[in-house]
Amino acid sequence: MRRFLPWLGLIAAAVLPAGVGAAPLLLISVDGLRPGDVAQADARGLKIPALRKLAAEGAHASGVVGVLPSLTYPSHTTLITGVSPARHGISNNLTFDPRGINQTGWYWYAEDIRVPTLWDAARKAGLKTLNVHWPVSVGAPVDANIPQIWRTGHEDDRKLLRALATPGLIDSAPGAIAAFPQGIDESVDADAARSDAAAALIERIKPGFTTVYLAGLDHVEHEHGPDSPEARAALERIDGMIARLTAAAVAADPETIVALVSDHGFLPVSTDVNLFAPFLQAGLITLEGGKVKDWQAMPWLAGGGAGVMLANREDPALRDKVAKLLSGLKADPRLGIAAILDRAEIARRGGAREADFWISFRPGFETGRDPAAPLTAPSVTRGMHGYDPAYPEMRSTLILWGKALPWKGDLGEVDMRAIAPTLAKLMGGALPTADLPPIR
């Protein structure tokens, strides 16, 4: 039960020293990078000299406590805004789409972010900005923007990306549009191509604030599990990309500060839980021809957790019916449900304000995606996140490096919401809308 105790008040944040700021900033995210991957690199058999150099010469968190849910898009939006999902509005990876009309659409569009971002702070500080593949960046206020978006993986997706990127930017990248990866490609090879393009653009544009997102480690950890040989090989390749990006940024400006972050940790998983089945059996979802005809309540899947949405949030009878159903599911040990959060507890935890309940799974369990599957089945993936951020295994990474950095060493455990205001101040800007002040 200790893992589910409130943690928001446990992490202190001190103000940066006076006069700090105005250094160019390179923000690199390695999706799924765990702090132990760097701190315990030898024990894990990892050859990652670039990451180890940044950590040894700069400052690093022992762990970053993330947000609810511990998913890529909510976490990356917290990293860029300094507020919880309840405030910034990106509450899941996929938009809630009960009838499936959005074709598994993700939260791609920056206009859905309800608060100012680091891109806004950089612009106010008069800095030129560059983005390559950061989540929720379509239409972001970025001078040179290659956003993350995909639809079907068809070749037309390349044209979509070209249309949404800053005009001419992809064509000026190495290999131009034919070689630039589709957004749907989350492989390590795609990371390599994007990081090469980002390095070349940094060298040419010399931005004051750059965001680069690398997805390949997360992709491999889902497929093969954390600590797998495949995941270790992926991270070792990504380490070389980090070295290339860092070298490009320092060549563009020797005062550059590099901020290396991740969005969540990872857990091995063995069991899929079909949450749709009990809702169908209770008559809360009605199908016709295999598609949703009507619904009163429905799960909103989130990996190691799930929101539960009510069609009529003001119907007390419906709320009571769903609460009783969820209580019965939690009592079934086969399903691995650790906790059911109600609307008040979700709000207190800064989670999805659209959800009326939140289901948190124990390690080893995840939400299955096939409504026709058995109630439980062997998992289709080997690794997952989305669990309660109080789990130590969900801790993410923060490393800061650069000659202009005002401090070095272990920063202790950091709240993810304190990262964005810290980065804003380091590059000479401010993010007063953040939930917390800068970390020390």
Each residue's pLDDT tens digit, 41-100: 999 999 999 999 999 999 999 999 999 999 999 999 999 999 999 999 999 999 999 999
What sign has the CA pseudo-torsion 28, 29, 30, 36?
Answer: positive
Whether the Cβ atoms of residue 390 and residue 340 lie closer than 8 Å to each other: no
What is the rounded distance in angstroms from the CA atom of residue 4 to the CA atom of residue 363? 13
In three-state secondary structure terms, 386 is: coil
Q: What is the pLDDT of residue 174?
A: 57
Residue type, 399: I
Residue type, 108: W
What is the rounded distance in angstroms from the CA atom of residue 426 to the CA atom of residue 115? 20
pLDDT tens by residue, 215-266: 999 999 999 999 999 999 999 999 999 999 999 999 999 999 999 999 999 9
What is the rounded distance in angstroms from the CA atom of residue 357 to the CA atom of residue 354? 9
Predicted confidence (pLDDT) at residue 362 exceeds the cutoff of 60: yes
Peptide bond before residue 316 is cis, with ω within 30 degrees of 0: no
Which residues are paired to 291 by β-bridges?
288
Q: What is the DSSP string of 312-359?
A: STT-HHHHHHHHHHHHHHHT-GGG-EEEEEEHHHHHHTT--TT-SEEE
Mean pLDDT of 196-201: 93
What sign has the CA pseudo-torsion 199, 209, 211, 52?
Answer: positive
Give, for 161, the enclosing helix (H) or strand (E).
helix 156-164
Closest to 334 measured CA to CA, from 268, 391, 265, 277: 277
Sequence-ordered strand ranges (E) for 147-219: 209-214
What is the rounded distance in angstroms from the CA atom of residue 68 to the CA atom of residue 352? 8
pLDDT tens by residue, 374-433: 999 999 999 999 999 999 999 999 999 999 898 899 999 999 999 999 999 999 999 999
Closest to 138 measured CA to CA, from 161, 172, 154: 161
Q: What is the pLDDT of residue 10?
A: 33
What is the rounded distance in angstroms from the CA atom of residue 158 to the CA atom of residue 150? 8
Whether the Cβ atoms of residue 149 and residue 170 lie closer than 8 Å to each other: no
Strands 305-310 and 357-361: antiparallel
What is the rounded distance in angstroms from the CA atom of residue 38 to the CA atom of residue 35? 6
From residue 200, how far is each of 164, 256, 261, 347, 355 by CA, in Å? 20, 16, 21, 43, 42
Domains of the chain as residue ranges with CATH: 2-266+390-426 (3.40.720.10), 272-383 (3.30.1360.110)
Task: Give first-to-last CA distance, the chain, whole Å.
Answer: 30
Q: What is the pLDDT of residue 21?
A: 57
Question: Of how many residues is the chain composed?
Answer: 440
Mean pLDDT of 283-301: 96
What is the rounded distance in angstroms from the CA atom of residue 267 to the CA atom of residue 382? 9
As a dihedral over the C-alpha atoms of residue 412, residue 413, residue 416, residue 419, rounded to 10 degrees, the angle is -10
Predicted confidence (pLDDT) at residue 3 exceeds the cutoff of 60: no
Long-range contacts (CB closer than 8 Å, 24 or more residues apart) made by 281-289: 282/321, 282/325, 284/321, 284/322, 284/325, 287/371
Closest to 350 measured CA to CA, from 436, 254, 234, 242: 436
Mean pLDDT of 342-359: 98
